[in-house]
Structure 1
């Protein structure tokens, strides 16, 4: 198998490349990004190649021989520069993703894997527990809106090209050594939203990478929820193996976070805090039964790994 990965230098990409390199069936990995990704050390069956460049310049000949494309590249809003331009971010996430998919199909790629997000479900105060993949998407902020739009574009493309398999993965917040700084700060800190009793899920980055690798090697199409278990409240996470935590009024978080977002992309999209009043519990039965995937790192183990 010959695999191409967009956004290979990103948080998930850095965990995915070694996971793909360990798969005997994968002979070549093409890592695509604007910045040079860290490639796995040589020695496995796969030949790894990094190609640095803008996806807007991707051509079918760049993907010659590739049979599967894993699309991780995605822009987050925040910080300085064009990341505050909603129209630009939308174009980068939605229009460019559609362009990349069409380029891949023109190159002969017959399996497209997209890393979406559990944020497509909201969450909302009335979100059911657990959420199955058949639950309607109800995005609550721009990042989730773009994920839903890319999912819709990908499904439309699959209808145009039934010869091409499509896999969509919906993980919750992915934590680990390469995770977004805001997620690491929340997971390692003692602060939590006051009244934060809504259950949510996280996922260790190696488990996310394993799910992507399973979807690649099994060529299983469909939409799949991913998540560590059990679901815990943010209060329980903050106080895990600790005597105390610090509750912060949700109104204060919502008031201050946009300012931090203006100063640094490390703060994350302000829309993320809107979902703190709703549960996000995923039913991962389909991933277990069809992908043969089960998370190895529990919620407690995720927190303990991050704090050591």
Structure 2
């Protein structure tokens, strides 16, 4: 069955991949993009906006659609310069999201798929105790708080209106064109720089971009997805050490990893004011996707090594400096 999808964040890392998949599947898409963000890679009807903080009028486009996929957000940033970061996140991630949802209800949209974040659950898990979709939320930073508040607001709107809300909380997403720390790690490995990450016995859940997109598309019309929250990962959790070795293999390189104890890395990072970075490198964050797999009969179509190979190829062809 074909759908008419209103997609926000269509020029972003996740949104652009969702757009490509929807068009490949023959779906009708209207894409909401920030004005000045550049042309989309795929020809599609677009609706431009200045900011999700503005009082945007979406009704004209929404009346043509039966599903909203909302991937636009003020994303988590390091060294945020906002005087009140939580207020800044709330304006976009809470108020903007709920304004869109209210207009979707008024326009007769049937389903609202919201790309949230694992940060709603928290920042770190203990060994053998992965997060589940139905855990009590424990966000630790303004971004996570804003995503949680958006989820709560959407669920209330669903109860009041009959709008079907589907919430997806991804872990760290990687794929061709990935930026930030993931790209930095590839550069370090590609250049043969010795890294002090050869003795880290943590476990991190990750999700390949293609796997996340596949779940988003599944949630557009799966009957069992209505008014549910799902966690998503590749289904194979890796230590930082194992990830670096397999990333190096995908690059055709040898990983030069020095066996520095994790406690020493953590202490050094905290002394430099980089405690958050050490937690991501040395701490664990695992998710249990049993609900996603069982309720939706969904399984990630792409394995980790194949996904890493796609990232490595894109890096070598486009991002290598």
TM-score, with structure 2 as normaliser: 0.79
Is 1:204 matched with 2:208? yes
Q: Distance in 1 between matches of 2:154 and 2:188?
A: 37
SS in 1 for 2:45: strand
Question: 2:239 pairs with 233, 238, 242, which one?
Answer: 233
Aligned residues: 288
Question: 2:298 pairs with 290, 293, 296, which one?
Answer: 293
Contact 1:201 1:299 in 2 (8 A): no
Question: 2:222 pairs with 218, 222, 227, which one?
Answer: 218
- Stretches of structure 1 that go unaligned for 5 or more consecutive residues are 42-47, 259-269
SS in 1 for 2:68: strand
Larger Rg: 2
Q: Distance in 1 between matches of 2:81 and 2:106?
A: 30
Give the match for residue 166 of structure 1.
165
Q: 1:197 and 1:208, CA in 2 relative to 1: closer, same or farther beyond 3 A? A: same
Question: 2:15 pairs with 13, 16, 39, which one?
Answer: 13
Q: 1:64-213 to 2 correspondence within 5 Å?
A: 64-78=63-77, 85-86=84-85, 87-126=87-126, 128-161=128-161, 163-186=162-185, 189-190=188-189, 191=195, 196-213=200-217
Q: 1:292 and 1:58, CA in 2 relative to 1: closer, same or farther beyond 3 A? A: farther
- Deviation track 1:242-289 (CA, whole Å, cap 9, x = no partner) reads 45324582344456576xxxxxxxxxxx85654555422222222223
- Deviation track 1:63-119 (CA, whole Å, cap 9, x = no partner) reads 122111011011125479975651223311111111111111111112000011222
Q: Distance in 1 between matches of 2:179 and 2:21?
A: 20
Q: Distance in 2 between matches of 1:82 and 1:100?
A: 27
- Deviation track 1:113-152 (CA, whole Å, cap 9, x = no partner) reads 0011222222335375333211221112222222211111
Q: 1:80 and 1:196, CA in 2 relative to 1: closer, same or farther beyond 3 A? A: closer
Question: 2:266 pairs with 225, 247, 250, which one?
Answer: 250
Is 1:52 matched with 2:26? no
Q: Distance in 1 between matches of 2:47 and 2:38?
A: 7
Q: 1:130 and 1:79, CA in 2 relative to 1: closer, same or farther beyond 3 A? A: closer
Q: 1:231 and 1:84, CA in 2 relative to 1: closer, same or farther beyond 3 A? A: farther
Give the match for residue 44 of structure 1.
none
Q: 1:223 and 1:77, CA in 2 relative to 1: closer, same or farther beyond 3 A? A: closer
SS in 2 for 1:244: coil
Q: CA deviation at 1:305?
A: 3.0
**What is the RMSD computed on CA atoms of the aligned residues?**
2.8
Contact 1:201 1:227 in 2 (8 A): yes
- Stretches of structure 2 that go unaligned for 5 or more consecutive residues are 190-194, 314-321
TM-score, with structure 1 as normaliser: 0.82
SS in 2 for 1:232: coil
Q: Distance in 1 between matches of 2:20 and 2:108?
A: 25
